[in-house]
């Protein structure tokens, strides 16, 4: 299951008998519903063509959890949601900064070591090289760790909209 893959996001289709306006209304109501301490926290917002939904946690950083992005399409007998799972904008920005910063530090320190000629400084660019697989592991680990969130978010949307998963891509 590719949740955070760079090649292609996971996409599913959910069909519901509700109209587009009823889907929008149901999701607005879901986002504004008060939650008790036993319920999982959910954050979401409506967009011009659909909505974003993300499960959060009380302690720690939720930004690496998968974000559900749904586009609502009108159908003759209701509505269809094209649902995509991936990283939030904040998580993508963090990932990009991680790897760009690692590249700059590694190349910059390698050039500095080569120019200075001091033999013991090779450890600095090596540290930068080691941060690259650490970043890959970090994002892959979060992908595995939050795999159940994809199923949970799908179930929440299906339950709220009385929908059925029609197709998984």
Per-residue model confidence (pLDDT) at position 2? 43
Per-residue model confidence (pLDDT) at position 150? 85
Tokens 């301490």 found at: 37
First and final C-alpha spacing in the chain:
10
With 50 as the cut, is the pLDDT of residue 4 above it? no
Report angle CA 86, 22, 169 to the nearest 5 degrees. Answer: 30
- Is 14 within 8 Å of 164 (Cβ atoms)? yes
Q: How many CB atoms lie within 10 A of CB 109?
A: 19
Please give the share of the chain, as a percent, with pLDDT higher than 90.
38
Per-residue model confidence (pLDDT) at position 57? 77
Per-residue model confidence (pLDDT) at position 37? 59
* Euclidean distance between CA atoms 90 and 19, whole angstroms: 32
| Average of per-residue pLDDT values in the chain | 84
Alpha carbon separation from 148 to 65, 66, 119 (Å, rounded): 10, 10, 49
If you ran DSSP here, which 8-state letter would residue 64 be given?
A: T
pLDDT band at 169 (very low <50, low <70, confident <90, very high): low
Per-residue model confidence (pLDDT) at position 38? 55
Q: Which of residues 39 and 79 earns the better pLDDT score?
A: 79
Phi, psi of 36 (to 5 degrees): -95, 175
When pLDDT is averaged across residues 91-112 and rounded to a whole number, the result is 91
Per-residue model confidence (pLDDT) at position 7? 40
This prediction has a pTM of 0.73
* Euclidean distance between CA atoms 79 and 21, whole angstroms: 9
3-state secondary structure 31-61: HHCCCCCCCCEEEEEECCCEEEEEEECCCCC
- Is 85 within 8 Å of 10 (Cβ atoms)? yes
């Amino acid at each position: 299951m590719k949740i955070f893959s760079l090649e292609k996001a996971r996409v599913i289709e959910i069909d519901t008998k509700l109209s587009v306006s009823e889907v929008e209304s149901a999701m607005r109501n879901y986002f504004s519903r008060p939650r008790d301490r036993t319920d999982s926290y959910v954050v979401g917002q409506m967009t011009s063509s659909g909505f974003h939904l993300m499960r959060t946690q009380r302690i720690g950083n939720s930004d690496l959890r998968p974000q559900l992005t749904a586009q609502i399409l009108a159908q003759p007998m209701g509505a269809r949601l094209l649902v995509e799972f991936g990283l939030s904008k904040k998580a993508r920005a963090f990932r990009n900064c991680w790897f760009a910063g690692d590249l700059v530090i590694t190349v910059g320190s390698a050039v500095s070591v080569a120019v200075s000629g001091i033999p013991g400084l090779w450890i600095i660019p090596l540290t930068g090289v080691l941060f690259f697989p650490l970043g890959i592991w970090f994002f892959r680990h979060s992908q595995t760790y939050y795999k159940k969130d994809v199923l949970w978010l799908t179930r929440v949307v299906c339950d709220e909209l009385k929908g059925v998963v029609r197709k998984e891509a």
